[in-house]
Amino acid sequence: MPFTYKPLWKLLIDKEMSKRELMKATGISKSTIDKMGRGETVSLDIVDRVCNYFSCKVEDVIEHSRPRNEDSNE
């Protein structure tokens, strides 16, 4: 997957907040949190809810990671 939610998981650790607490505070479902845990794509609405809740930037929630085998722009 080209995106990772590692910044979000680090943010939760820094805020001493569980995924369950995040779900409750933002209305995000368990299945969506599970998808994020597997590095799957979620809607921008979900990212927006998290950003609004924490008053943070998108890059504080997701990160784009270029696959190792794509070293060129071709």
pLDDT given at position 2 = 81
Q: What percent of the chain has pLDDT over 70?
A: 88
**Residue 37, C-beta contacts closer than 8 angstroms, at least 6 positions apart:** 5, 19
- 34-62 average pLDDT score: 95
pLDDT of residue 1: 62
b/e code 8-45 from CB counts within 10 Å (16+ = b) = beebbeeeeeebeebeeebebeeebbeebeeeeebeee
Instruction: Report CA 35 to chain centroid distance, whole Å.
Output: 10
End-to-end CA distance of the chain: give it in Å, rounded: 19
Q: How confident is the model at residue 33 (pLDDT cuts 50, 70, 90)?
A: very high
Q: pTM to 2 decimals?
A: 0.83
